[in-house]
Amino acid sequence: MTTHATERRHDQRPGSGQTRGRGIASRVLLLSVTALVACATGVAGTLLFQRTTAPDTSAVDAQAAGLAEDLRGDLNAGFYSGGGTYGGQFTEGTLVARVETHGGALLSAGAAQGGPGGTVHTAEVMLGLFPPSSGTVAANAYPVRCYRYTFGVGTYSVKQSVTSCPATRTDGRPGSLAAQMGALLTRQPTGPHAYRQTATSGYAHTPQGALDFLKDKHLVAAGDAVTVVSGTAAGDGVYVLALRINGACQYLRMDSTPTSARLIPMWTAPAVEQEPCTVKRAVAATELYGIDPAKAG
């Protein structure tokens, strides 16, 4: 089931509500050129350059630290959140939006039982795909770098470490993962409200209801090709879909409760889940992070 949205596009950064200062058009152009060059020349020249110049990683490390701080804010629930933007439960969509704000892409996400502390979430990200929105950074001072984040339910549970970037693409094709991620970021929905907290109540939990929601709420814009892969009920009034928008796998979480207005309902699937793009994986990704302030005391 494929449709094309017909809404007018605005240059507004979704997710955290920040304005896209550079504009999505310039970012898409930059990422497109980066991906084409990387695909054409490979990574040999880049590796040689970095070996001989020992690039300064401080700029991208600062982005990684900023991401950790944002995540701590998102986990700051209850009294200390002050009723503001931060604090409370959030979806994997918030994590994806934060990563992109800091110049990167989510490679993988998972969870495991962490003993007495409960569930420990892990996210591996690639940063350095595009530079900070302010200031000037030399090319050799902003290399692509990968990081691992682990967190539970509290602000101080967030841990950050550097990890090796995967040596191959997640789709098994030749070329670098950085080029694949750069190309992925150019194929996202162009709607002005993508990656923004949006209520999903009031729409039928069907593929057509999902398409109506995407268009009515401006999560997609004119020219975005939307294909519903599959959808299923996930319990507690939640309906989950795996979609392909402009060829990229997206997950959509539709929640019939009023609290859905606090959540980012749609996000780009992690890199390792782009190829399969199954509703089973989408359901696994819909677990809410953090603590509901109303229940935090």
Alpha carbon of 289 to those of 53, 105, 280, 281: distances in Å?
40, 19, 19, 16
What is the residue range of 104's domain?
2-296
Low-confidence ranges of the chain (pLDDT < 70): 1-54, 77-87, 115-117, 132-141, 292-297
**In the prediction, which pLDDT does 135 show?**
59
**In the prediction, which pLDDT does 140 show?**
65
DSSP state of 171: T
pTM over 0.85: no
Rounded Cα distance between 261 and 275, Å, is 30
pLDDT in tens, 109-157: 998 887 666 789 999 999 999 876 665 666 666 799 999 999 988 888 8
Beta strand segments in 23-66, E: none
**Residue 261: partners with Cβ closer than 8 Å, 6 or more residues away:** 197, 198, 199, 201
> How many domains are there within the chain?
1
**In the prediction, which pLDDT does 47 show?**
41
Residue 80's φ and ψ, nearest 5 degrees, are: -75, -15
Neighbours of 73 (CB within 10 A): 16
User: Residue 150 is encoded by which pair of tokens?
Assistant: 């682990």
